[in-house]
Amino acid sequence: MRMIPTPTRINAPGTPPKTIEEFIGLVNSGHRDISIARMVSPHGWSEPGQTPEFDEFTLVLKGTLTVETRTGTHKITAGQCLIAEKGEWVRYSTPDEGGAEYVAICVPAFTPATVHRDE
């Protein structure tokens, strides 16, 4: 057994800044096959679109996360989960009052080199 006592804070793209706390992944635990991070996104936050080389499972804990895809825009609320398949273009934002708190699980682990953010 190995306990992870604290996450590592990671700088997040987007405006205004959101908080990323990685519990499991390359930075905090050295895992390459999975990453698990808690995100706290303030009202008005948005980031560039991306076409990642990993599957991303997003579980919203509080608030509403807006997710744009090539097929439409989706509002994911507390208690709901979204699966974004690798190679699918997505763009995350929290335009609604109160922002959102959510957990992102990436398989394999998130890396800046494999997220492929839009310029």
Contact 38, 54 (CB under 8 A): no
- For residue 12, the model assigns a pLDDT of 87
Per the structure, the count of domains in the chain is 1
Confidence of residue 2 (pLDDT cuts 50, 70, 90): very high
Task: Find the domain containing 44 and state its range.
Answer: 19-25+33-115
d(CA 26, CA 7) in angstroms, rounded, equals 12
- For residue 97, the model assigns a pLDDT of 97
| DSSP state for residue 95 in the 8-state scheme | -
Is the residue at 3 inside a domain? no
Instruction: Quick: pLDDT tens for 45-104.
Output: 999 999 999 999 999 999 999 999 999 999 999 999 999 999 999 999 999 999 999 999
d(CA 110, CA 113) in angstroms, rounded, equals 9
**Mean pLDDT (whole number) for 38-50:** 97
**CATH number of 106's domain:** 2.60.120.10
